[in-house]
């Protein structure tokens, strides 16, 4: 049966877009090569924080809207979303973060809040999203609208010919082959999970010369990271890299020294010079592209989903 819309991809971008479509009354279903637990979204530390996504003006707009949605979800049980405080550390003096307009109450850290070696930092409260619980929540929300998911690998968009009036491409890094977008490149991110030694606040050090470093406490564990290796496709965790991540994180937070390691994961972020969120009218049906979010898929998810729905409605 001809659907009004088919969403390609079932990570956080695809699920959010499909939910917004169905809640707007559009008969939308999902076709995906991988279910959510096997996507990069499942690996994410998932703190609201724009990272490796461009252009900044659009990212700020999409991110601000997503922040608003997450604030609402944090007040609801069972979503996996919580508001948490933390700091972004800097080794050199900097101005206010470029994304600060989207986050209420960003303030400069006082001297006593900075670890040795850091000259500046900013403290703020943002959504932290526990992805296993959140992806289950999204799947349940989509199912309650009557949405259906089909596991099917696509060779090209032509494989969906005659199945929908509009296609929404949320394939992430898979869009490189699906639509021949050579500007997409993997940004390899390795993380490890450790048992949470009663930490409450996150810590971010994007400028660590030894590698991007972050500590994101969750209810039962902490996500420690990380790496940002552009052009690397390897998805097996590297034991030596994991040891370095743990060393860097324990230097920032000594309570992590000796923490029980619960698991290792690698995700391939879909890096691109700019997020591709646009309508394409080629042969056949209109296509709405919504991919290339870098390390900000969760951060931009609802804002981009709503814009994709507007583009689909116009189509």
Phi and psi at residue 7, to the nearest 5°: -95, 130
Domain boundaries, the chain: 3-314
Annotated binding site for D-dopa: 214, 269, 295
Residues flagged as binding site for FAD: 40-41, 294-299
Give pLDDT < 50 ranges for the chain: none
Structure tokens at 110: 């006082």
Q: Which residues are annotated as a binding site?
A: 40-41, 214, 269, 294-299
Choose which CATH entry (3.40.50.150, 3.40.50.300, 3.40.50.720, 2.70.150.10) describes domain 3-314.
3.40.50.720
Spatial separation of the C-alpha atoms in residues 255 and 246, rounded to whole Å: 11
Could you give the CA distance from residue 86 to residue 125 in angstroms, rounded to a whole number? 6
How many other CB atoms are there within 10 angstroms of residue 272's CB atom?
22
Q: What is residue 1's predicted lDDT score, i.e. its pLDDT?
A: 66
In whole angstroms, give the CA distance from residue 181 to residue 191: 27
């Amino acid at each position: 049966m001809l659907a009004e819309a088919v969403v390609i991809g079932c990570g956080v971008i695809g699920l959010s877009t499909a939910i917004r479509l169905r809640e707007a009354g559009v008969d939308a279903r999902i076709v995906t090569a991988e279910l959510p637990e096997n996507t990069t979204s499942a690996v994410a530390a998932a703190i609201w924080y724009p990272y490796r996504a461009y252009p900044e003006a659009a990212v700020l707009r999409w991110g601000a809207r997503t922040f608003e949605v997450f604030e609402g979800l944090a007040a609801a049980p069972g979503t996996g979303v919580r508001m948490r405080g933390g700091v972004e550390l800097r080794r050199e003096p900097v101005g206010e973060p470029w994304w600060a307009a989207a986050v209420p109450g960003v303030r400069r850290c006082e001297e006593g809040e900075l670890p040795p070696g850091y000259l500046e930092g900013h403290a703020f409260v943002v959504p932290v999203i526990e992805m296993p619980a959140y992806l289950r929540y999204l799947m349940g929300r989509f199912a309650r609208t009557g949405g259906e998911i089909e596991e099917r690998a696509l060779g090209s968009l032509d494989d969906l010919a005659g199945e929908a009036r509009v296609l929404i491409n949320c394939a992430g890094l898979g869009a490189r082959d699906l639509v021949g977008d050579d500007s997409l490149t993997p940004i390899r991110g390795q993380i490890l999970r450790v048992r949470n030694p009663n930490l409450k606040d996150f810590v971010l050090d994007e400028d660590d010369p030894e590698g991007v470093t972050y500590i994101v406490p969750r209810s039962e564990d902490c996500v420690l990271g990380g790496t940002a290796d552009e052009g690397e496709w390897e998805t097996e965790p590297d034991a030596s890299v994991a040891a370095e991540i743990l060393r860097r994180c324990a230097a920032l937070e000594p309570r992590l020294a000796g923490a029980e390691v619960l698991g290792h994961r690698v995700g391939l972020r879909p890096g691109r010079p700019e997020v591709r969120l646009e309508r394409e009218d080629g042969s056949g049906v209109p296509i709405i592209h919504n991919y290339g979010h870098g390390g900000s898929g969760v951060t931009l998810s609802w804002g981009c989903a709503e814009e994709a729905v507007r583009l689909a409605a116009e189509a």
